Amino acid sequence: MLTTRPRGTADILPGQTENWQYIENVAARVCREYGYREIRTPIFEHTELFIRGVGESTDIVEKEMYTFRDRGERSITLRPEGTASVVRAYLEDKLHAGPQPVKTYYIGPMFRYDRPQAGRLRQFHQFGIEVFGAQQPAADAEVMALAMDFYGRLGLDDLELHINSLGCPECRAVVREKLQQYFQPVLNELCTNCQDRFTRNPLRILDCKASRCAELAREAPTTADCLCPDCRAHFEKVRQHMQDLGIPYILDKRLVRGLDYYTHTAFEIMAPGIGAQSSIGGGGRYNGLVEACGGPPTPGIGFALGLERILLALEQRGKLPDIKVGPVVFLAAIGDRAIREGFSLLARLRAAGIAADMDYQGRSLKAQMKYAGKMGVRYAVIIGENELQKGSVVLRDMIAGSQREISKDEAIRALHS
Ligand code: HAM
C-alpha cells in the first residue's frame, strides 16, 4: 500500500510534466486572446452544491462523488467538475455585481469514482471555461470556437464537434412527455438503469450504451424535434455563426449530456481513435443554473476538456512537441578549490539566465563528463588544476567535440549569446 497509488490516479513525472505545461500554456494563451481570465476555486465544496448544481439524478451525483464528513461533521465532496464551483464563486464573490459578461477559465484536477480504463481516471484534469451574462447566440459560437481553436493550435485538426439543442425547460417538458409515451410500451425491454431513468430523467435513455436501449432509442423523439420557436431561432443563429466562422460540426440530435444543468446548445468533441473514451471535451449552455443555486436569473455557458484524453490524442497522432528541458551547461570541476570556484561560476551562469548544473557526488572528471553526456547538455565548462592556476576555464562544445580555454567572463558571454 505504501508504494502504490490509489486506483484511477496517476503520477505525472518529469518528462511528462513538460507536456502538461505546454498544453496549459496554450490554453492560457487562447483564453487571454478571447478575453477569459483565470479563476481558481477550492478542490472541495459542500456536497449540497453538486447535488443542486450537477443534478440529483445524474450518474455523477448518484454514483461517482468522493464524499466524506470532515471533522466538523460537514458533508464535503471533492469536486467532480468545475461549473458548479464557478457558479458558486460568481454568486458568493459577487462577480454578478461587476461588468457583464464575466468570462472565466480554469485548469485543475477533478474527481469521479468511475471505473478506471484508458482515458478514464478517478482523478483527472480539465481545462474549462464559463461565461456568465451572455445570452446571445454568438456567445455559444465563441465558446465552441475557442475549444476548436485550442485543439487546432495543439495540432488536433481531425476532431468531430457534435452539437445539439436541448431547448428551455418548456421544450424539455414536451420532450419528456413524448419520450415517456414512446418508451412506455417497451419499458420492460429497457435496461434496469433506463427503467429508472424513465420516470426520473427519460432524456438520458437516449444516451444509454446498452444495445437494446440504443436500438429502441434510434427512432425516439428528440429535443431538437420539440424546440419552441425561441429555442429554435436561437439554435439557428448559433449554427449560422458557426458556419460564418467556417467551423465544421455534426448536428447530433441524440446528443444529451450527462449533467442536468444544460439548456439550449449542448456540444461534445470526439477524438476518433483514442479508445472507448473518445469524448475529449463537452459543454453547453446552462441558463437556469445560477438561479437554481440561489442567484439572479443569469445565462451561463461553458465547456470542459479532459487533459488526459487530449494527451492521448496528441501522443497517438505524434503531435507532442519535442520539448528540450534540463541544463544547457554542465560545470565539471576537480578538487576542493576548483569546486569552490566552479560553484561560484555556476551561480553567475544561473544569474545570467543560463540553465547550468554541476556534480554533487564527488565523481572523477571522466565520470562527470560521462554524466554531462547523459544529461544531454550542449556545453561543458571544465575547471581543473591548470585552469585554476590561470583563472581560466575550458569551454567544451559537446556536439562539435571542440574546446577552447577562455576567461570566466568570456565563457559567460559566449554561453549567454
Ligand atoms: P463532462 O462531459 O462531464 O462535462 O466532462 C468534460 C470532459 O472531461 C469530458 O469530455 C472528458 O474529456 C473529461 N472527463 C470526464 N470524466 C473523466 C474521467 N473520469 N477521466 C478522464 N477524463 C474525464 C463537465 O464536466 C462540465 N462541467 C462541462 C461544462 C462546463 N459544461 C459547461 N461548462
Question: From the CB of 125, is ligand 1 less than 6 Å away?
Answer: no
Mean pLDDT computed over every residue of the chain: 95
Q: Distance from the CA of 243 to the center of ligand 1, in angstroms?
A: 26
Which cell goes with 323? 520539448
Indicate which atom in ligand 1 lies nearest the CA of residue 304.
28
Question: From the CB of 303, is ligand 1 less than 6 Å away?
Answer: yes
Q: Distance from the CA of 257 to the center of ligand 1, in angstroms?
A: 10
Indicate which atom in ligand 1 lies nearest the CA of residue 121.
20
What is the domain class of 329-416 according to CATH?
Answer: alpha beta
Ranges assigned E (strand) in 241-391: 250-251, 263-270, 279-285, 300-306, 329-333, 356-358, 379-383
Same fold, 17-168+228-316 and 329-416: no
Pocket-testing residue among 31, 112, 126, 267, ligand 1, by greatest number of atoms within 8 A of Cβ: 126
What is the residue with the minimal CA distance to atom 30 of ligand 1? 303
Question: From the CB of 112, is ligand 1 less than 6 Å away?
Answer: yes
The β-bridge partners of 382 are 332, 394
Which cell goes with 204? 438520458
Model confidence over 338-347: pLDDT tens digits? 999 999 999 9
412 close to 349: Cβ distance less than 8 angstroms: yes
Pocket-testing residue among 39, 64, 144, 259, ligand 1, by greatest number of atoms within 8 A of Cβ: 259
Phi first, then psi: what are they for 2, rounded to 5°?
Answer: -60, -30
Residues of the chain with pLDDT under 50: none
Query: CA dist 84 to 44, 81, 247, 342, Å?
Result: 11, 7, 29, 54
Query: CA dist 231 to 56, 134, 137, 164, 287, Å?
Result: 25, 15, 10, 11, 12
Pocket-testing residue among 110, 125, 262, 298, ligand 1, by greatest number of atoms within 8 A of Cβ: 110
Question: From the CB of 281, is ligand 1 less than 6 Å away?
Answer: yes
Phi first, then psi: what are they for 285, rounded to 5°?
Answer: -90, 145
Rg (CA), the chain: 28
pLDDT for res 47: 98
DSSP letters of 371-415?
A: HHHHHT-SEEEEE-HHHHHHTEEEEEETTT--EEEEEHHHHHHHH
382 close to 394: Cβ distance less than 8 angstroms: yes
Percentage of the chain exceeding pLDDT 70:
100
pLDDT for res 258: 83
DSSP classification of residue 100? S
- Angle between helix axes 336-351 and 408-416 (nearest 10 degrees) is 40
Helix ranges (H only) for 264-335 are 289-292, 307-316
Determine the topology of domain 17-168+228-316 in CATH: BirA Bifunctional Protein; domain 2 (3.30.930)
Domain ranges of the chain: 17-168+228-316, 329-416
pLDDT for res 56: 87
Which cell goes with 252? 447530433
Q: Distance from the CA of 110 to the center of ligand 1, in angstroms?
A: 9
What is the residue with the minimal CA distance to atom 15 of ligand 1? 306
